[in-house]
Amino acid sequence: GAVVSQHPSWVICKSGTSVKIECRSLDFQATTMFWYRQFPKQSLMLMATSNEGSKATYEQGVEKDKFLINHASLTLSTLTVTSAHPEDSSFYICSAGGQSQNGYTFGSGTRLTVV
């Protein structure tokens, strides 16, 4: 089945630094990828939709200058958390798919801790 690889699986960074998270579709081409954020014991909140070759579409309330998304190829999308703050600490998950009527495949997630 479809596999989505996400790296890193966890990262600790200092306040004010930037962190890049990668999401790759390994055995299929994904024209669209989704980025979600999940706080403990809460649901997955859609942050943005990443489209290959064009600008990402951000959900209301998500700062596009803070969460930079690049989808330069059909197999890779990246999310960069810029000038990270402790409140950005969360579980970030990417998703890709749509290859069939079944659900989208999720990456394994990245647990970001900003200290």
Annotate each residue in 90-109 with x if it binds other proteins (CB under 8 A) or - if it does not, as one string: ---x-x--x--xxxxxxxxx
Whichever of 42 and 73 has its CB closer to other proteins, that residue is: 42
Q: How far is CA 50 from the centre of its chain?
A: 9
Whichever of 36 and 67 has its CB closer to other proteins, that residue is: 36
13-31 CB burial, b ≥16 within 10 A, e <16? beeeeebebbbbbeebebe
DSSP for 40-105, please give it.
TTS-EEEEEEEETTS--EEPTT--TTTEEEEEEETTEEEEEE-S--GGG-EEEEEEE--SSSSPPE
Whichever of 13 and 44 has its CB closer to other proteins, that residue is: 44
Q: In the set 42, 73, 83, 113, which binds other proteins (CB under 8 A)?
A: 42
Which of these segments, 15-23, 43-51, 65-73, 77-85, binds other proteins (CB under 8 A)?
43-51
Annotate each residue in 55-74 with x if it binds other proteins (CB under 8 A) or - if it does not, as one string: --x-----------------
Asked if 27 contacts 3 with a C-beta cutoff of 8 angstroms, the reply is yes
Positions touching other proteins (CB under 8 A) are 32, 34, 36, 42-46, 49, 51, 57, 93, 95, 98, 101-109
